[in-house]
């Protein structure tokens, strides 16, 4: 078991909540997806990816390789999101607060999982 376990659990809770917001994208999520040009036909995959990330982080508390894999995948996801915001010239709150903040949190989780 990874000790302390709570950083992975908190990040999992954030991704679980984000997945709920993406089931039928709430206004600010919908606008963010539109702003970066994310194709609407793929929107339905986002909750599945985010629920899977939450599950991977929770299970990773007991199985460290899954914590590392899930955290690394999330870092890749948010690097792609960051590139999408930059490509779309979306330099507002979504990029600097949401995307960059989540990239930092996921990078921290990856470093934590590797070091644990």
The reply to whether the predicted model has a pTM over 0.85 is: yes
Residue 36 in any domain: the answer is: yes
Q: What is the DSSP string of 2-65?
A: -SS-HHHHHHHHHHHHHHHHHHTT-HHHHHHHHHTT--GGGTTHHHHHHHHHHHHHHHHTT-HH
pLDDT band at 3 (very low <50, low <70, confident <90, very high): confident
Confidence at residue 74, expressed as pLDDT on a 0 to 100 scale: 97
pLDDT at residue 96 is higher than 90: no
Residue 1 in any domain: the answer is: no
Residue 88 in any domain: the answer is: yes
Q: Which two tokens stand for residue 59?
A: 């299970």
Residue 14 in any domain: the answer is: yes
Domain count, the chain: 1
Domain that includes residue 43, residue range: 6-115
pLDDT band at 51 (very low <50, low <70, confident <90, very high): very high
């Amino acid at each position: 078991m990874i000790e302390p376990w709570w950083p992975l659990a908190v990040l999992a809770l954030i991704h679980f909540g984000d997945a709920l917001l993406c089931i039928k994208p709430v206004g600010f999520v919908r606008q963010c997806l539109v702003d970066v040009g994310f194709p609407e036909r793929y929107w339905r995959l986002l909750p599945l990816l985010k629920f899977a990330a939450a599950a991977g982080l929770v299970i990773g508390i007991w199985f460290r390789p899954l914590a590392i894999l899930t955290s690394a995948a999330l870092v890749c996801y948010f690097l792609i999101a960051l590139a999408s915001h930059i490509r779309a010239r979306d330099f507002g709150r979504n990029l600097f607060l949401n995307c960059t903040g989540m990239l930092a949190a996921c990078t921290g989780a990856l470093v934590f999982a590797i070091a644990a």
